[in-house]
């Protein structure tokens, strides 16, 4: 390929954007990526060199797992020097998890990796996939003064570009399926594509891409709810091999003060299980110690996740636990913004 022409690699993992309705039973099934490109001939008018690779078979987003993330990271690593940007077509249900994971796995990233998808198949008359894909390609190829405008792992959906590890899916029916409640958008698409450069993360000094391919999935997400019983809590925290817990607490990081609950959390902490506390609220931040109901967790050694999303905390914990770091270093890094995933007061 000619290097003065912007080059984009599209990676199709699966998802609604690449589905077609089977006329026999009406069920949506994946079809070949080349047919997606055929559905959007406008892509050729961008003037980019575009190639595509596809998972075979495509994976429904509900089946995404850490092995999929490693596979994605390896594809980007393999083609990193040959392409200026990457567009990942992905199902919406777990897209925020995958974008979060890739943000931590791709260390020293200096090129755009844009996740996108659709609520309606690309062949549907009213599909949102067409605009999502075209604009994602444009963003992945955008350069200024010879450098990428958005050298991050992002999600583009319904005219907004979000930092990947700040994003959650919040709507199963509307086209505006995602939100970044605690961090501003990186770009907005209307008549003009406007980049909010002050919110884009600058990678700083150039360093060679380093890919963290190992993840430790021996973690649990514990969502607190009124009526949580000792038996259920013990079943989760007593899981064999458990290394870490993402604790979805109430409000600003609050949890029950019942003695049995506090003792079981303390027992798990003493066993070396790492806890990171995130809020169940879609907006706002954990402020451990602000209320009495969170002070015990803080004193016991639970780490504050501040305004991290559950998706980001889950992925970050998996990546850090796989790096054979000492527990204290893992805790320190959980409490630190590595890829712009936390706003620390």
DSSP 145-186: TTEES--SEEEEETTEEEEGGG-EE--SSSS--EE-TTS--S
Q: What is the pLDDT of residues 82-111, one digit of tens each?
A: 999 999 999 899 999 999 999 999 999 999
The SS3 call for residue 304 is strand
pLDDT band for position 230 (cuts 50, 70, 90)? very high
pTM tops 0.85, yes or no? yes
Q: What is the pLDDT of residue 37?
A: 66
Whether pLDDT at 115 is above 70: yes
Tokens of 323: 């790096």
CA atoms within 13 A on the CB side of 67: 3
16 given a catalytic annotation = yes
* DSSP secondary structure, 274-299, as one string: EEEEEESSSSS---TTSSHHHHHHHH
The SS3 call for residue 118 is coil
The full set of domains in the chain, from first to last, is 7-211 (3.40.50.1170), 219-334 (3.40.50.40)
Whether pLDDT at 59 is above 80: yes
Q: What is the pLDDT of residues 140-166, one digit of tens each?
A: 999 998 899 999 999 999 889 999 999
Within 8 A by CB and 6+ apart from 204, the residues are none
Q: What is the pLDDT of residue 1?
A: 46
Phi, psi dihedral angles at 4 (to 5 degrees): -85, 0
Q: Which of 13, 16, 110, 310 is catalytic?
A: 16
The SS3 call for residue 211 is strand
Closest CA to 99 of 173, 18, 17, 161: 161
């Amino acid at each position: 390929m000619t290097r003065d022409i912007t080059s984009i690699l599209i990676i199709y993992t699966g998802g609604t954007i690449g589905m077609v309705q089977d006329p026999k039973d009406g069920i949506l099934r994946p079809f070949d990526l080349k047919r997606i490109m055929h559905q959007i001939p406008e892509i050729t008018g961008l003037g980019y060199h575009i190639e595509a690779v596809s998972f075979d078979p495509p994976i429904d987003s509900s089946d995404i797992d850490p092995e999929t993330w490693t596979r994605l990271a390896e594809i980007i690593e393999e083609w990193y020097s040959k392409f200026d940007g990457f567009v990942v077509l992905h199902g919406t249900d777990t897209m925020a998890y995958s974008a979060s994971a890739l943000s931590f796995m791709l260390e020293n990233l200096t090129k755009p990796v844009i996740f996108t998808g659709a609520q309606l198949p690309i062949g549907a008359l009213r599909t949102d996939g067409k605009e999502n894909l075209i604009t994602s390609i444009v963003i992945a190829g955008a350069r200024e003064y010879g450098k990428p405008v958005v050298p991050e792992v992002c999600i583009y959906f319904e005219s907004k570009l979000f930092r990947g590890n700040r994003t959650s899916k919040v709507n199963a029916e509307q086209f505006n399926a995602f939100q970044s409640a605690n961090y501003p958008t990186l770009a907005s698409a209307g008549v003009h594509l406007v980049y909010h450069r002050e919110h884009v993360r600058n990678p700083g000094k150039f360093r060679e891409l380093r890919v963290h391919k190992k993840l430790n999935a021996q973690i649990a997400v514990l969502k607190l709810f009124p009526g949580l019983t000792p038996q259920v809590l013990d079943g989760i925290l007593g899981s064999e091999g458990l290394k870490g817990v993402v604790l979805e607490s109430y409000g600003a990081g609050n949890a029950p003060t019942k003695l049995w609950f506090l003792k079981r959390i303390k027992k798990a902490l003493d066993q070396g299980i790492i806890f990171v506390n995130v809020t169940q609220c879609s907006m706002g931040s954990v402020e451990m110690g602000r209320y009495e109901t969170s002070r015990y967790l803080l004193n016991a050694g639970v780490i504050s996740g501040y305004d991290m999303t559950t998706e980001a905390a889950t992925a970050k914990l998996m990546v850090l636990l796989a790096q054979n770091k000492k527990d204290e270093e893992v805790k320190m890094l959980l409490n630190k913004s590595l890829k712009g995933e936390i706003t620390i007061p």
